[in-house]
Amino acid sequence: MARTLPPAAGPAVILGADTEVVLDGRLLGKPRDAADAARMLRDLRGREHEVITGLAIVETGPSGGAPRQEIAAVTTRVRMGHYGDADIDAYVATGEPLDKAGGYAVQGLGGRLVEAVDGCFTNVVGLPLTTTRALLARRGLL
């Protein structure tokens, strides 16, 4: 039996974000499997890379009018440590890197592999909070 939802009291707001790791111009998305995660971590070892998150806020217009949108991108530089193959194997065995861009989670166990973050830490986590807040504020949504 189909149900009809009541109309929204105001405009709908949609926030979307996606994060990529970029090493030497090459995108490192989420690893396909454990071997791919280990390969990414070997490639990143002892090197700097960029973490780029694209953000979009779309606000539906009143009475079906044109939606308003705002977009932004945030880039953070990350330097990985000089960890060994045993460290990679142990980390990959936790399963944590399998759904993370670049094969690591800075906010989790993967933080042990990171030497330094230059820029927005929450961007590396996956949602740059300062930029997100600014976008929402500009739309009058905070």
Q: Catalytic pick from 18, 24, 33, 118? A: 18
* Residue 67 to residues 57, 62, 98, Cα–Cα distance (Å): 10, 8, 35
Q: Tokens 């998305």, residue? A: 29
* Active-site residue flag, 18: yes
The residues assigned a catalytic role are 18
